[in-house]
Amino acid sequence: MSEFMRTRLWDNNAALVQMLGLCPLLAVSNNVINALGMGIATVTVVVITNFLVSLIRPMTRQEIRIPLFVLLIASVVTVIEMVMNAYFHQLYLILGIFIPLIVTNCLIMGRAEAYASKNPLWSSVKDGFYMGLGFALVMVIIGAMRELIGQGTLFSQAHLLFGDWGEHLTLTIIPEYSGFLVAVLPPGAFFALAILVALKNKRDAQLKQKEKQVQSETATESS
């Protein structure tokens, strides 16, 4: 994994470290399929907006950059919404309310401001992709946790996203499970996110510890 990818997927993960875009992250992660749909939509939007923001970089002035970004992001999302409504109507009916919600995702504004407005086209597109991917992965993991604990299944209602063959994707992990409501309700999203953040911090601490050990070992050897 290159340094570029690693920063975006792990060290500086949009959801776990920067805590950006919590609104869609918590609201739409009640099962894997919803999370996946929203994740794909978010990656698409952030790649396109990063591309456009980088494209108009020569025109952007410090004083008016925020309204420019808002205009661009809102337009891109609206165009995507209309196109989906016209040509992917089934998907639109499922993700319909979440699409306008993408506008509120600070991840998109954040990447436009922090990266795309200062960097060339191709790396901005890559940045958007990996940042979005990092966000989408966390979202899918939270969705899986909540769905598994809440309903005992994974990939339920996959046919909403993948059509008829999705019917066979649903995995019933815990049969005859009576459900654990809290996981599906909003508090479950906070718990799941907190657990993930804690796990990530623990792993980072372990990695640091190891690094220190290696450093001190090399230090003693050289002395």
Partner 1 sequence: MSQQKPSNKSIWSLPVILAVITVITSAVLMLTHELTKDTIEQQRLEARLKSLQRLLPEQLFNNDVIADAVTIFEPEQLGHRKPKQLFIAKKDGTITALAIPVVARNGYSGDIELMVGVTVAGKITDVAIINHKETPGLGDLIERNKSDWLQQFPGHSLENPEQKNWKVKKDGGQFDQITAATITPRAVVAAIKKALLYQQSTNFESMTNEAIKDV
Judged by the rule CB under 8 A, the positions of this chain that interact with partner 1 are 30-31, 56, 59-61, 63-64, 67-68, 71-72, 75, 78-79, 82-83, 85-87, 89, 93, 147, 150-151, 157, 159-160, 178-179, 181, 184-185
Q: Which H/E stretch holds residue 196?
A: helix 186-222
> Minimum distance from CB of 151 to partner 1 (Å)?
5
Which CB, 2 or 165, lies closer to partner 1?
165
Which CB, 54 or 157, lies closer to partner 1?
157
Which CB, 134 or 188, lies closer to partner 1?
188
Q: How far apart are CA 213 and CA 71, in angstroms?
A: 50
Which CB, 127 or 147, lies closer to partner 1?
147
Q: Given the structure tokens 């923001």, which residue do they identify?
A: 53
> Minimum distance from CB of 113 to partner 1 (Å)?
16
Angle between helices 186-222 and 121-151 (to 10 degrees): 120
- Report the SS3 class of residue 87: helix
Beta strand 171-172 with 153-154 is antiparallel
Number of H helices, E strands in the chain: 11, 2
> Minimum distance from CB of 79 to partner 1 (Å)?
5
Which CB, 80 or 196, lies closer to partner 1?
80
First and final C-alpha spacing in the chain: 33
Q: How far apart are CA 52 and CA 105, in angstroms?
A: 17
> Minimum distance from CB of 205 to partner 1 (Å)?
35
> Minimum distance from CB of 34 to partner 1 (Å)?
8
